[in-house]
């Protein structure tokens, strides 16, 4: 160190050097001697050590954290058959620091990347500019369209029309010369293009216009943290005016509840800071509805919640739409019928009859 004038030193792994000592008192004494020597040399030193286990002591010998100035804890916890990497600044002597765990991932050619959940605070400004939903009747239902920087969640069972709602949302943006980005976690690119064509939307033509980018990826192809980085980098590169993510609930297959919560909070706050009108779809657990882990985390953050459901009326299954939430705006709270054909979604009049969600029974 003296011969090269080193200012930084990394010892990997210091735990191996100390493994010869059987008693914690010896470990603490030798570690103190090492720490004092490094300080005398005027270097900034990083010492790595193994922990005894995911749920055990912070360090291997249980004394290391009391000798050093700063302690950074890396975890790789297995939860519900899924791994969750996290970093925590447990100790930072002489200076304030952020507490709690943050997700992180390791990216080729970029290294260690922390997913910035805690650093993404609420925005200080809110836009009052309206943008169309892509459907004139939906625009009227929500008071003139979505707010430009809002986060919208479209909730419903499989096959009810969530992907169509996302498709008409990006189609409306492309038609107005806005940059749009569409993520799909459930369908391949060919399936997405074919299904959109059946509703009268030409996604390939939208792409050729240069105003739409489509990214399709199955959740199992990467970890949740890697999906976050991929999405964040794509958003920063494309700088879209509109973002559609279909289907956010698919990520539950590769995420722990804690990891999914951090992902959703981080992503929604990130797009809000970028002033992007963002629409996320979420699939209910069953055909008759029911909340999901995804909705539990995003519902309080979302500015608008659109509910799509199957209803049973006179022995016939129909589709219904309603606005459960529209922050900062008056909106139609009635349940309205809609149909899907080769020209997309058509929202009709409110149900005059008493309808019930398919399979729902009142509590006795």
Residue-wise pLDDT for 157-208, tens only, equals 999 999 999 999 999 999 999 999 999 998 999 999 999 999 999 999 999 9
| Full set of structural domains in the chain with CATH | 8-114 (3.40.50.300), 130-357 (3.40.50.300)
Mean pLDDT of the chain: 85
3-state secondary structure the chain: CCCCCCCEEEECCHHHHHCCCCCHHHHHHHHHHHHHHHHHCCCEEEECCCCCCCCCCCCCCCCHHHHCCEEEEEEEEEECCEEEEEEEEEEECCCCCCCCEEEEEEECCCEEEECCCCCCCCCCCCCCCEECCCCHHHHHHCCCCEECCCEEEEEECCCCCHHHHHHHHHHHHHHCCCCEEEEECCCCHHHHHHHHHHCCCCHHHHHHCCCEEEEECCHHHCCHHHHHHHHHHHHHHHCCCEEEEECHHHHHHHCCHHHHHHHHHHHHHHHHHCCCEEEEEEECCECCECCCHHHHHHCCCCCEEEEEEEEEECCEEEEEEEEEEECCCCCCCCCEEEEEECCEEEEEEECCCCCEECCCCCCC
- What's the pLDDT tens digit per position in 308-352? 999 888 778 899 999 988 998 999 989 999 999 999 999 999 987
Question: Model pTM greater than 0.75?
Answer: yes
Q: What is the pLDDT of residue 121?
A: 56
Q: What is the pLDDT of residue 290?
A: 52
Banded model confidence at residue 119, pLDDT cuts 50, 70, 90: low
Q: What proportion of the chain, given as a percentage, has pLDDT over 70?
A: 87
């Amino acid at each position: 160190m003296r011969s090269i004038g080193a200012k930084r030193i990394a010892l990997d792994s210091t735990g191996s050097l100390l493994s010869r000592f059987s008693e914690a008192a010896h470990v603490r004494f030798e570690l103190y001697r090492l720490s004092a020597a490094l300080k005398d040399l005027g270097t900034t030193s990083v010492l790595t050590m193994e922990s005894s286990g995911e749920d055990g002591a912070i360090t291997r010998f249980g004394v290391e954290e009391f000798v050093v100035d700063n302690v950074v804890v890396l975890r790789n916890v297995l939860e519900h058959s899924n791994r969750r990497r996290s970093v925590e600044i447990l100790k930072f002597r002489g200076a304030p620091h952020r507490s709690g765990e943050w997700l992180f991932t390791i990216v080729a050619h970029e290294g260690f990347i922390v997913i910035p959940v805690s650093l993404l605070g609420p925005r200080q400004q809110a836009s009052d500019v309206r943008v169309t939903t892509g459907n004139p009747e939906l625009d009227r239902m929500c008071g003139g369209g979505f707010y430009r920087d809002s986060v919208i969640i479209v909730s419903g069972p499989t096959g009810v029309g969530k992907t169509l709602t996302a498709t008409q949302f990006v189609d409306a943006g492309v038609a107005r010369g806005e940059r749009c980005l569409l993520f799909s976690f459930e369908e391949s690119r060919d399936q997405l293009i074919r299904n959109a064509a059946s509703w009268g939307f030409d996604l390939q033509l939208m792409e050729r216009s240069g105003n739409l980018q489509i990214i399709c990826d199955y959740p199992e192809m990467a970890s949740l943290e890697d999906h976050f980085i991929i999405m964040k980098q794509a958003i920063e590169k494309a700088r879209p005016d509109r973002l559609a993510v279909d289907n956010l609930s698919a990520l539950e297959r590769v995420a722990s509840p804690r990891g999914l919560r951090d992902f959703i909070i981080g992503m929604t706050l990130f797009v809000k800071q970028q002033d992007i009108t963002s629409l996320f779809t979420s699939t209910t657990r069953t055909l008759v509805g029911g909340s999901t882990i995804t909705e539990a985390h995003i519902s309080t953050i979302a500015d608008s919640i659109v509910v799509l459901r199957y209803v049973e009326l006179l022995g016939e299954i129909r589709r219904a739409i309603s606005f459960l939430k529209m922050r900062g705006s008056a909106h139609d709270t009635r349940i309205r019928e809609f149909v899907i054909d080769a020209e997309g979604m058509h929202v009709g009049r409110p149900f005059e009859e008493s309808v019930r969600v398919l399979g729902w029974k009142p509590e006795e």
